[in-house]
Amino acid sequence: MNLLLPNILEVALFEFIEYVVHFGLHALDSPRHQDHHRSKELESVPVFILPFVFLRFGHYGFAAGAWGYLISHRAGHKSNFFSHHRAHHADPRYNFGVTTPFFDHVFGTYKASRR
């Protein structure tokens, strides 16, 4: 049985969920997420255990997506490598995708960042 396709689909689904949740946090005007934007702090400990939970249950694509999120979110705060996320912090009406701006392009919420 080919496991590549299901894992690719899990990564894509994780990216979509990441986009929807982040968009929703802004739509709901979440006070905790507003604090994140003001303080530039990263995730709390529970987010860091997600990849291990996914691995435990055999969801390797979700684990890869979660690790991609954690790495890109940290890099987005610490460097210009993931500049679309830095642009989101400059103007939170755009660029809700953390790991990739793919779904921002799909849903029209992408805004090019200034480097």
pLDDT tens for each residue of 68-82: 777 776 766 666 656
Is the model's pLDDT at 112 over the cut of 50?
A: yes
At 45 the pLDDT is: 47
Token output for 54: 């996914």
Domains of the chain, residue spans? 4-107
Residue 98 host element (H or E): none
At 103 the pLDDT is: 94
6-28: pLDDT as tens digits: 878 888 888 898 899 889 888 88
Q: Distance between CA 52 and CA 31 in Å, rounded?
A: 28
Q: What is the DSSP string of 50-70?
A: HHHHHHHTT-HHHHHHHHHHH
pTM: 0.75
Q: Distance between CA 81 and CA 90 in Å, rounded?
A: 15
